[in-house]
Chain A
Amino acid sequence: MSASTLEREVRMANQIAAEFENQQPGQAVAATADHIVQFWDPRMKAQILAHALAGGAGLSPLAAAAVALLRGKQGGGGAAPGDG
């Protein structure tokens, strides 16, 4: 996986989280996790989950919390990169 794909994913997650925080202050974490569930393909989800496990560099606190919530929803495991 190139750095640029992950960079895009981090940026998208941050964008989504920021937008939901503006829309529904205090509820952005769940909304962001739900948005990722609905619109990201399994490989992208796996990549962002793996990135979060590896420290989540660049993820905003809200986006990081959303990804953590996503991991919980998916059974706590966190897929390995490329599992998609």
Chain B
Amino acid sequence: MAYNREIDLGTPAVAGDAAPVELTIDGQAVRVPAGTSVMRAAAMLGTTIPRLCATDTLDAFGSCRLCLVEIDGRAGTPASCTTPVAAGMVVKTQTGRLQTLRRGVMELYISDHPLDCLTCPANGDCELQDMAGAVGLRDVRYGDAGANHLNLAKDESNPYFTFDTSKCIACSRCVRACDEVQGTFALTIEGRGFGSRVAASQGEAFFDSECVSCGACVAACPTATLIEKKVIEVGTPDRSVVTTCAYCGVGCTFRAEMRGEALVRMVPHKAGKANHGHSCVKGRFAWGYANHRERILSPMIRASITEPWREVSWDVAIAYTASEFRRIQQAHGKDAVGGITSSRCTNEETFLVQKLVRAAFGNNNVDTCARVCHSPTGYGLKTTFGTSAGTQDFDSVEHSDVVIIIGANPTDGHPVFASRLKQRLRGKPGVAGARLIVIDPRRTDIVRSPHIEADHHLALRPGTNVAVLTAMAHVIVTEALADEAFIRERCDWSEYVDWAAFIAEARHSPEATEALTGVPAAEVRGAARLYAGGGNGAIYYGLGVTEHSQGSTTVMAIANLAMVTGNIGREGVGVNPLRGQNNVQGACDMGSFPHELSGYRHVSDDGARAIFSTLWGIEIDAEPGLRIPNMLDAAVDGSFRGLYIQGEDILQSDPDTRHVSAGLAAMECVVVQDLFLNETANYAHVFLPGSTFLEKNGTFTNAERRIQRVRKVMTPRNGMEDWEITQALSNAIGYPMHYAHPSEIMDEIAAVTPTFAGVSYDLLDRIGSVQWPCNEQAPEGTPVMHLDGFVRGRGKFVRTEYVATEERTGPRFPLLLTTGRILSQYNVGAQTRRTENSRWHAEDVLEIHPHDAEQRGIVAGDWVRIASRAGETSLRADVTDRVAPGVVYTTFHHPTTQANVVTTENSDWATNCPEYKVTAVQVGRSNGPSEWQLEYEARTQLARRIETAEPAE
């Protein structure tokens, strides 16, 4: 695909189904929806009216005075961006008068603009340059003696873009993008008249300001004022490829803009149905890890983890791995090996790893990192609704009136969706914003941010989700706020009656549970009434729901709330898990769980197994295999000895590090396929270098069930795409695979998975993306689920009795630790730590309430020791009232923090999802890193040695 700037129609499309209006522009008739601007109507005819302050991602502003037109019967020369069409209107976009006016305006702009076009980084990609040409500017009569802004200093503080105010034309596009699109309100125009300049926060450097580096201002800038440093370094791109971001579960569509095989920039694509042209600091800028010096490009093996790594050829590495797995299976039985698929990899790669396990290994010992994040979502939503997935698309939030956010921090974890949500919460002129309820132990940014304030923030004690949600249901049932008509029509009425009687018991009331949850009863009542009676109610939740001993119960409590209020089965409502990683949904869909084949069919289902057996020519075991924690237990016991791990770092990301390391250390062959020598690789015998999302073809499925293409834009530096590595391994083990392209793997997925039956690369290329189910009934996919009834038939109410976790505070461990994410870093940080994003967050810190800090003599910046019954670690403290007294909080992005040394082996009753979010701890001052951290550092250094060839004499 050659390089073209995206088409810009100047002003946004009008929302909804406005009646068409017919008008004439330059003699041509055009029909457009009422409310459309004259500028947009002209653009739809292919006529570009000169403009500088207008762009179709922002509301019309009418400041640049360039887009003037003449309209028959109207006086003057109105701005076409702010003038809506009218029936019968006759517009002229080019007359002598308009030409003179526009030239005059351009002349003024250019009189205060450096004329260094040839050496300007935006040369060839500059709207100011284009407009000077379009209006026929030939001369600037004002000279250069007057006052100007030509010598103002650049702000280069942001690692990814430069702000050169001398090139600014004060069009306000950046300010408006920050306000309207991103919702951070970090930019302003300070001063007035000739002195008007764009400023970040209160005239601070960009890096020090409130700017979150989403890149919206850079994308909006028509000149080189805000421009990517990479463009300054490399030059403008010459081609672009549409692909999907590999960070969070929002799944933003980007244009990878290239010059040769060099990536110049990632620009959010307006046609992306998840992001509509917006991005965050990770997807937009944090892709430099692909070329980081620590990336491993050669396969490596070693007989024991005490030896240094030895670089070998792909053939040797694959043959060695295959022989090790065969040897282990011959000696210890076919169940002695297994595999782990990754939510970072594509659907096709994930499908292939589980196929390798089920067909080549001949067992069901396959699991995925969703085990430790959203497995309770799968269980809970399948039980209540019948499908293990969110019910809506992201666009649905446009129609929400009340939004509940539980255990999620979207502005940090899912920033592009958060911007969308914030747009709805702020409302628009004439349209009130949606109301907001936040249920979270911590005061996350969404609770109070510019022009947004939650109606209720239920700052519950960690571990009491079920009690709070059950209390909300109690209020809805006992105050007769239930939507009985919906329940009778859609749900099992007798189960509802049983549930309602249970819920109505006085012990579930907000007053009865207040002492337990720490949430004032009046707040719970207020929140329940608002959700039940405030119109369309939508629930968004994250790992603060699932990563608990009652994670699955909490998911079912959420489903109960949606059903009892009738908030399911249409736009604007629903139950929406915010998925942590780009392809959590896909990894689950692809049959990565040890008990399920693709499309969530249990391995004991004879019919489902038969489909695979026929196609694959093998018998699939009817018994479930081992889940990740079970694999580690079995390894310690000696019955599980070989593990193939694709794109996952279980040593850093899984709880109870000591147990994970004991399990890994007990195995005879651990194979890690990754970009870097991650923490798990310390215990590996084979390292297979992986490819980045820029180096392969495939698909990711985001939190909306949206399947989107990942397109290869450069040759894999490691030599192979990840699916090719799995295929080579399977062939070496003796189970042949012969895919020539990932599209063939998708064809197989479609053939064996009813909900994917209609999916193909042809379809995705044609319509951009598709939300499953996609089959004969829904050939272009399913944006909103359960429209006419639940997938399982009737919605199932499940009693949700609060059971306190066994993780209790006491005299030894009086505080509760909970964990989360920060905007600039991603998960275990393997990618983001290897980018400039680390400048925003160089280390994990412990948030502690001033009251708890004072009792312990801790001041901000102190090194503190945090200990639980599982272990201890040290990090620096941040004293803040974001957390309640009794609660401490940290992120887990840095391996040196070793946050999971502290977390325990407690897990969700139904799925074994670890209870990361509640750990009883004690905190005290310390002198620096703990002994474990120091030892760990030393061990890591040792484990990462790579043998260097003897120098020739």
A residues neighboring B (CB under 8 Å): 1-2, 4-5, 8, 12, 15-16, 18-19, 22-24, 35, 37-44, 82, 84
> Once the chains bind, are A22 and B799 in contact (CB under 8 Å)?
yes
CB within 8 Å for A39 and B639 given contacts A4-B633, A16-B910: no
B624 at the interface (CB under 8 A from A): yes
Contacts A1-B637, A8-B633, A22-B801; is A41 near B910 (CB within 8 Å)?
Answer: no
In the complex, the answer to whether B798 meets A44 with C-beta atoms within 8 Å is: no
Given A38-B602, A84-B335, 16 further pairs, Cβ under 8 A: A5-B637, A8-B905, A12-B909, A16-B909, A18-B803, A22-B799, A23-B798, A23-B799, A38-B604, A39-B595, A39-B910, A40-B624, A41-B594, A41-B626, A41-B630, A43-B335
In the complex, A24 Cα to B174 Cα: how many Å? 57
How far apart sit A49 and B800, CA to CA, in the bound complex (Å)? 29
A42 in complex: contacting residue of B623, B637, B905, B912, CB < 8 Å = B623
Check B504 for interface membership: any CB of A closer than 8 A. no
The reply to whether B639 and A82 contact each other, CB–CB distance below 8 Å, is yes
Chain A residue nearest in CB terms to B338? A41
Q: With a CB–CB cut-off of 8 A, which chain B residues contact A39?
A: 595, 624, 627, 910-911
Closest partner residue, chain A, to B594 (CB atom)? A41
Give, as a whole number of angstroms, the nearest-CB distance from A35 to chain B: 7
- B639 CB contacts on chain A under 8 angstroms: 43, 82, 84
Question: Which B residues lie within 8 Å of A82 (CB)?
Answer: 639
Check if B623 sits within 8 Å of A35, measured CB to CB. Answer: no
Find chain A residues with CB under 8 A from B549 CB.
15
**Shortest distance from the beta carbon of B648 to any chain A beta carbon, whole Å:** 20
* B550 closest partner in A (C-beta): A19
Q: Does B553 contact A (CB under 8 A)?
A: yes
Contact yes or no, A19 B637, CB < 8 A: no
Contact B630 A44 (CB under 8 A): yes
Per-residue CB proximity of B900-939 to A under 8 Å, as 1/0?
0000010101111000000000000000000000000000
A sample of 26 inter-chain contacts (CB < 8 A) reads: A1-B637, A2-B633, A2-B637, A4-B633, A5-B636, A15-B549, A15-B909, A16-B909, A16-B910, A19-B550, A19-B553, A22-B799, A22-B801, A22-B803, A23-B799, A23-B800, A35-B910, A37-B604, A38-B595, A39-B595, A39-B627, A39-B910, A41-B594, A43-B639, A84-B335, A84-B639
Does B634 belong to the interface (CB within 8 Å)?
A: yes
Q: Could you tell me if A41 and B624 are in contact, using CB atoms closer than 8 angstroms?
A: yes
What are the interface flags for B351-370 relative to A under an 8 Å C-beta threshold, 1 for contact and 0 otherwise? Answer: 00000000000001100000
* Contact residues in A for B912 (Cβ distance below 8 Å): 12
Chief secondary structure at chain B's binding surface: loop
Please name all residues of chain A whose beta carbon is closer than 8 Å to the beta carbon of B602 when the two chains form the complex: 38
Taking CB atoms and an 8 Å cut-off, the chain B residues in 349-403 that contact chain A are 364-365
Q: Tell me which of B636, B798, B799, B907 contacts A4 (CB under 8 A).
A: B636
| B residues near A18, Cβ cutoff 8 Å | 803, 909
A62 CA / B684 CA spacing, docked (Å): 41
Decide yes or no: A2 and B624 within 8 Å by CB, A19-B909, A41-B365 being known contacts: no
Contact A38-B910, Cβ < 8 Å, known A18-B803, A22-B801: no
Indicate whether B625 reaches chain A with its CB closer than 8 angstroms: yes
A44 to B803, CA, bound (A): 25
Q: Which residue of A lies closest to B635 (CB)?
A: A5
Measured between C-beta atoms, what is the minimum distance from B555 to chain A in Å? Answer: 13
A10 CB to nearest B CB, Å: 13
Taken together as a complex, chains A and B put the C-alpha atoms of A40 and B798 apart, in Å, by 23
Distance between Cα atoms of A46 and B911 in the complex (Å) = 19
A44 to chain B, nearest CB (A): 6
The 6 closest A-B pairs by CB, nearest first: A22-B801, A15-B909, A5-B633, A19-B909, A1-B637, A41-B626
Partner of A19, one of B594, B630, B636, B803: B803
* Distance (whole angstroms) from the CB of A82 to the closest CB of chain B: 7
Closest to B379 in A: A39
**Which residues of B line the A interface, CB within 8 A?**
335, 364-365, 549-550, 553, 594-595, 602, 604, 623-627, 629-630, 633-634, 636-637, 639, 798-801, 803, 905, 907, 909-912
A12 vs B549: C-alpha distance in the bound complex, in angstroms?
10
Quote the shortest CB–CB distance from A70 to chain B (angstroms): 13
- Which A-chain residue is minimally distant from B335 (CB atoms)? A84
Q: A15-B909, A22-B801 are in contact. Are A41 and B637 (CB under 8 A)?
A: no
Q: For the complex, give the distance between the alpha carbons of A19 and B553 in Å.
A: 9
User: How far does the Cβ of A52 sit from chain B's closest Cβ, in whole Å?
Assistant: 18
**Chain A contact residues, majority secondary structure:** helix
Q: Which residues of B contact A41 (CB under 8 A)?
A: 335, 364-365, 594, 623-627, 630
B918 CB to closest chain A CB, in angstroms? Answer: 15
Q: How far is the CA of A70 from the CA of B406 in the complex (A)?
A: 37
Whole-angstrom distance between the alpha carbons of A8 and B907 in the complex? 10
Cβ contact of B636, chosen from A2, A35, A38, cutoff 8 A? A2
Inter-chain CA distance A14–B627, complex, in Å, is 18
> Which residues of A have CB within 8 Å of B364?
41
Complex contact A24–B799 (CB within 8 A): yes
Alpha-carbon gap, A54 to B550, bound state (A): 30
* Chain A residue at smallest Cβ distance from B912: A12
- What B residues does A35 contact at CB under 8 A? 910
**Distance between Cα atoms of A23 and B637 in the complex (Å):** 34
Compute how far the CA of A12 lies from the CA of B915 in the bound complex, rounded to whole angstroms: 13
CA distance A42 to B594 in the complex (A): 12
CA distance A35 to B552 in the complex (A): 13
In the assembled complex, the CB of A74 is this many whole angstroms from the nearest CB of chain B, namely 11
Query: Which residues in B have their C-beta under 8 angstroms from that of A15?
Result: 549, 909
Complex Cα gap A15–B630 (Å)? 16
Roughly how many angstroms separate A24 CA and B626 CA in the complex, as a whole number? 27
Shortest CB distance A6–B (Å) = 9
The complex places the Cα of A82 from the Cα of B910 at a distance, in Å, of 24
B549 to A, closest residue via Cβ: A15
CB-defined contacts of B604 to chain A, threshold 8 Å: 37-38
Distance of A8 Cα from B656 Cα, bound (Å): 13
Question: What CA separation (Å) do A19 and B379 show in the bound complex?
Answer: 14
Tell me, in angstroms, the Cα distance from A43 to B365 when the chains sit together.
Answer: 12
B688 to chain A, nearest CB (A): 26
In the complex, residue of chain B having the shortest beta-carbon distance to the beta carbon of A23: B799
User: What's the nearest-Cβ distance from chain B to residue A43, in Å?
Assistant: 6
Please, which residues of chain A bring their CB within 8 A of the CB of B623?
41-42
B629 to chain A: closest residue by CB: A8
In Å, the complex CA distance between A37 and B912 comes to 15
Per the bound structure, the CA–CA distance linking A15 and B807 in Å amounts to 13
Closest chain A residue, CB of each to CB of B905: A8
| With known contacts A5-B636, A8-B905, A39-B595, A19–B910 Cβ distance under 8 A | yes
CA distance A84 to B803 in the complex (A): 32
How distant is the Cα of A59 from the Cα of B133 in the complex, in angstroms?
A: 82
Docked complex Cα distance between A57 and B358 (Å) = 35
A8 surroundings in chain B (CB, below 8 A): 629, 633, 905
Q: How far is the CB of A61 from chain B (nearest CB, A)?
A: 17
Closest to A18 in B: B803
Task: Report the separation of the CA atoms of residues A41 and B366 in the bound assembly, to the nearest whole angstrom.
Answer: 11
Q: How far is the CA of A29 from the CA of B553 in the complex (A)?
A: 18
* A2 and B623 alpha carbons, distance in the complex (Å): 23
The answer to whether B634 touches A5 (Cβ under 8 A) is yes
Chain B residues whose CB sits within 8 angstroms of the CB of A42 once the complex forms: 335, 623
Cβ distance A25 to chain B, nearest Cβ, rounded Å = 8
Complexed CA–CA distance, A1 and B630 (Å)? 12
Complex CA distance for A1 and B604, rounded to whole angstroms:
27
**Distance, CA A39 to CA B260, complexed state (A):** 50
B178 CB to closest chain A CB (Å) equals 47
List A contacts of B905 (CB < 8 A): 8
* A12 CB contacts on chain B under 8 angstroms: 907, 909, 912
* Minimal Cβ-Cβ distance residue in B for A17: B909
In the complex, the answer to whether B801 meets A43 with C-beta atoms within 8 Å is: no
CA distance A16 to B910 in the complex (A): 7
A4 to B666, CA, bound (A): 15
- A63–B798 Cα gap in the complex (Å)? 20
> CA of A18 to CA of B630 in the docked complex: distance in angstroms?
21
- Using CB atoms, name the residue of chain B closest to A25: B799
A1: chain B residues at CB < 8 Å are 637
Closest Cβ neighbor of B625 among chain A residues: A41
Q: Which of A5, A16, A38 contacts B624 (CB 8 A)?
A: A38
